[in-house]
Structure 1
Amino acid sequence: MDKLKVGIIGTGLAFSRLHYPAYQELSDKYEIVALCDPEPDKTRPWAERLGLSGGSVYTDYRPMLWRGDINVFDIMVPIEHNFRVTEDVARAIARQPGRAIICEKPLAANYEQARAHAELPSRYGVPIMIAENYRYSEEINIIRDLVRQKKVGEIVYFIYNRVVCFPEEMLKNQFAREEWRQHPVFAGGVIMDSGVHDVAALRHIFGGIDKLHAFGVPQRDDFAPYAVVTVNMYFKNGIIGNFSFYSAGKEMQRPLIGLRIFGTAGMIYLEESDCGTINVAYNDGRAEQIHYRPGRGYYNELLNLYNAMKGLETISVTPEIEYGDAKTILDILRSIKNGGVVAVDNTGDYIPHYRSFQQPAQFEYHQLKWH
């Protein structure tokens, strides 16, 4: 099967640490043929590594758009540029078969841009995939299947606590070192940038959110307007729960609170995305562990796009799906500011269609005795 030719827009950490390893693993399906970054020092070593000539390296992405040999444009730019760049690319390749766009999450910086981004595929006739890796990760898809299969009975409520120490990560060679993340010009700062993953996971597992009520502790640091937000959520299927995102500290005790889902017949527990194990405990005393491979979201999303481009399946995470994730974060911020309940998904019984990754042979189940 022919390889898809890729043009990279933005060669920062998202490319080097997240997307490029997945492209390497899928080298029989993708080939990077062009690079763009406004900083030549970033593209130069990549051009040498990939064997690209000077004519395939750009400081402005717009001339790249007129190349006829590129099938996929992979956009990895600061959040405030996501909509503008994606719209430029979509307009340039409008209704050209065999061409598509990948855009990093969240898809936009505010309500207006997010809604406009969600309309780009239909407006320009271009397939767009949003690289929300939590929706493509093994652990979230397994948990989603466990919930839908009523493995622990009817779900009653959940607790989801996420803690990151952005001030410490700013001093390391991490994503937080980026100036545009330390002094963001998009709503919510790190709450939008990182918290949108967690919201995407919850919406992927439970479906649409009917309404929410949020509170926050204000801070003066630029990286986020609130040190912590805590949100009560009511989903359209009747499930309730609490989501907390603390961006300025640490959770010292193990096991972490993580994601805990309580049902009428038991409980599902995921400590953190990198732990490799989902724990399931039953009210009758049984327990089991489900092992998964951490960090497979990037691989799965690229494989999904490739298969979609070959007509084998549909794109799982479209701008319309991601619009709901970004809107939820913006609704959380609005609820804190206004001090009230905010309606989120206004479509009735919103349960989006997703590709299922679970195949029983892929996962190990270990029966345990619950003490």
Structure 2
Amino acid sequence: MRIPGTGYEHTIKNLWPGVIRVRKLKVGIIGVGMAFERLHYPAYQKLTDRYEIAALCDLDKVKADMWADRLKISHKNVYTEIQDILDREDLDVVDIMVPIELNFKVTEAVAKRLAGQKKGIICEKPLAPTLEQARAARDLAQKYNVPIMIAENFRHNQEIDIIRDLIRTKRIGDVIYFIQNRVVDFPGDMLQDKFSAKEWRQHPEFPGGAITDTGVHDLAGLRHIFGPIDRLQAFGRPQASDFAPYSAVNVNLLFKSGVTGQFTFFCAGKEMQRPLIGLRIFGTEGMIYLEGRDVGTINLAFNDGRKEQIPYEAQKGYYNELINFYNALTGSEPISVTPEMEFGDLKTVHDILLSIKEGRIISVDEHTTYRPDYQQALAEQPGFLQ
């Protein structure tokens, strides 16, 4: 069983000889902020038969102690120094949730400390603030012999998987093009109890700001559906606010499968008209329409007049990624979102910023490593991607 998207022949069994067993995995949390509270913790609550949160680490000892009380964890299992929590021998998983500018540095330190110890790492997206660090992050799993999953929940969201399968089975015929419009009211959200209210997001120490932090999700979803990107051309509307260099970006994308499309990311306002533009995929026999990721319904409209609605459970990605990681660490399936795969998602964001800055078309994926499984089969057909 190969780790997808890596090109490595190593398997989870090879990385962890003798670790294949079914039991509850003990988790150490690094960073008990909003990502833990609203994203990871609710998923862990649903998986108490597979995971047990055993230790917490955060610079804010008061906040960590509060969480210890809530989780009924002794305060002796609360740490303010990363090395202290890593000295524990009972942890099976370390889940890292820190500001983006610290992602690589913390993950590298954890991987180095856990090298060869049969422990796994979960790191929030994107895997690094810069491409230079992201390139180094791709090699951490192999370099230190430790499984690493990037928590890109859009690649695990139920609606994205359903749409990818609809494309694979040609439910709307051959896909010709798509449009996706994503709108985030960052200025409004920063005044509420939302992720945008965090100081490090309002004044980011990484390129792209909100485009990198939020837009990378949508691009990961598109890459999950359509595979690797051949080229892109982008334009941006500059703004003076620190949270993003552009209030809006418009990107023309050509995927290696031949699909073309336009992705628009507007992070400084609202889309007031309903229904939203959302994601619309046009094929030779009909179209797929997803208004938003929380609506719970995927709409299909066929050229012959038929219509169909497919229900899904919204915001399932965090749960699904923890299921995948548990199965990977216990030997039943490979890690779905590896650092190598997430590098491609982050590189796409940086290529968009580069295209805007230099006013030219940018080549994105040099190789076809990031194809979905169904495109792997297509690649074996004569003439595919030739």
- TM-score (normalised: structure 2): 0.90
User: Are positions 1:44 and 2:65 aligned together?
Assistant: yes
| Inter-partner Cα distance in structure 1 for 2:170 and 2:130 | 36
Shift of 1:349: 7.3
Aligned pair partner of 1:181 in 201, 204, 207: 201
Contact 2:65 2:75 in 1 (8 A): no
- The equivalent residue for 1:160 is 180
The yes-or-no answer on 1:328 pairing with 2:328 is no
Match of 1:13 among 30, 34, 48: 34
- Is 1:95 matched with 2:145? no
Give, in angstroms, the shift of residue 41 of structure 1: 2.2
Contact 1:121 1:128 in 2 (8 A): yes
For residues 364 and 173 of structure 2, what CA distance do their matches in structure 1 show? 26
1:150 aligns with 2:134: no
Give the drift of 1:348.
4.1
Q: What stretches of structure 1 of length at least 5 have no aligned partner?
A: 355-371
CA contact (8 A) 1:106 1:193 kept: yes
Please state whether the residue corresponding to 1:234 is helix, strand or coil: strand
Distance 1:96 1:352 in 2: 31
Within 2, Cα distance between the matches of 1:346 and 1:90?
A: 28
Q: In structure 1, the residue corresponding to 2:208 is in which secondary structure? A: coil
1:108 to 118, 128, 133: 128
Code of the aligned partner of 1:169: D
Query: Of 308, 322, 329, which residue of structure 2 is paired with 1:288?
Result: 308
Equivalent position to 1:25, from 46, 52, 60: 46
Counterpart residue identity of residue 72, structure 2: G
- Deviating above 3 A after TM superposition, structure 1's stretches of 4 or more consecutive aligned residues are none
Report the equivalent of 1:131: 151
Match of 1:81 among 91, 102, 106: 102
Deviations 1:46-103 (A, max 9, x none): 1111122222101111111121100000000000000000000000111222x10000
**CA distance, structure 2, for counterparts of residue 254 and residue 227 of structure 1:** 21
Provide the rounded CA distance (Å) in 1 between the counterparts of 2:180 and 2:107: 32
- How far is 1:292 from its partner? 0.2
The residue number in structure 2 matching 1:342 is 362
Residues 166-203 of structure 1 deviation map (CA, whole Å, 9 limit, x = unaligned): 00000000000100000000010000000000000000
Alpha-carbon contact 2:341-2:370 (below 8 Å) kept: no
Residue type at the aligned position of 1:64: I
Distance 2:281 2:47 in 1: 34
The CA deviation at 1:259 is 0.2
Residue of structure 1 aligned with 2:278, choices 236, 251, 258 = 258
- Alpha-carbon distance in 1 for matches of 2:335, 2:369: 21
In the alignment, is residue 118 of structure 1 matched against residue 105 of structure 2? no
Say which of 62, 67, 84 aligns to 2:83: 62
What corresponds to 1:236 in structure 2?
256
- Structure 1 residue 350, shift from structure 2 partner: 4.6
C-alpha separation in 2, matches of 1:51 and 1:163: 39
| 8 Å Cα contact 1:138/1:292 also seen in 2 | yes
* Whole-Å separation in 2 of the counterparts to 1:41 and 1:213: 47
Q: Give 1:141's match in structure 2, choosing from 148, 161, 164.
A: 161
Identity %: 62
| Residue aligned with 2:223, SS | helix
1:118 CA drift (Å): 1.1
- Report the alpha carbon displacement of residue 353 of structure 1 after superposing the two structures with TM: 4.1
Partner of residue 200, structure 1: 220
SS in 2 for 1:101: strand
* Larger mean Cα displacement after TM superposition, 217-226 or 40-49: 40-49
Matches of 2:66 and 2:370 in 1, distance apart?
Answer: 46
Q: In the alignment, residue 105 of structure 1 is paired with which amino acid? A: K
Match of residue 357 from structure 1: none
CA contact 2:225–2:372 (8 Å) conserved in 1: no
Alignment check: 8 A CA contact 2:234 2:250 kept: yes
What per-residue deviation string (whole Å, max 9, x for no partner) do you get for residues 15-67 of structure 1? Answer: 00010010010001100010011011211211111122222101111111121
> Could you list the per-position Cα deviations for residues 99-123 of structure 1 after superposition, in whole angstroms to 9, with x for gaps in the alignment?
1000000111111011111111111
Alpha-carbon distance in structure 2 between the residues aligned to 1:129 and 1:292:
24
Structure 1 position 4, deviation (Å): 0.3
What displacement does 1:351 show? 1.1
Deviation at 1:301, TM superposition (A): 0.3
* Residue aligning to 2:16: none
Aligned Cα root-mean-square deviation (Å):
1.0
Q: What letter is aligned with 1:96? A: Q
Secondary structure of the structure 1 residue equivalent to 2:292: coil
Alignment of 1:270-285 (within 5 A): 270-285=290-305
State how many pairs are aligned. Answer: 353
Distance 2:96 2:174 in 1: 40
Q: How far apart are residue 352 of structure 1 and its match?
A: 4.1
Q: Distance in 2 between matches of 1:258 and 1:348?
A: 27
Select between 209-218 and 116-125 the one with higher mean Cα deviation. Answer: 116-125
Report what 1:361 is aligned to: none
Distance in 1 (alpha carbons) for counterparts of 2:138 and 2:258: 27
Structure 2, unmatched stretches of 5+, are 1-21, 375-386
Distance 1:245 1:46 in 2: 35
SS at match of 1:5: strand
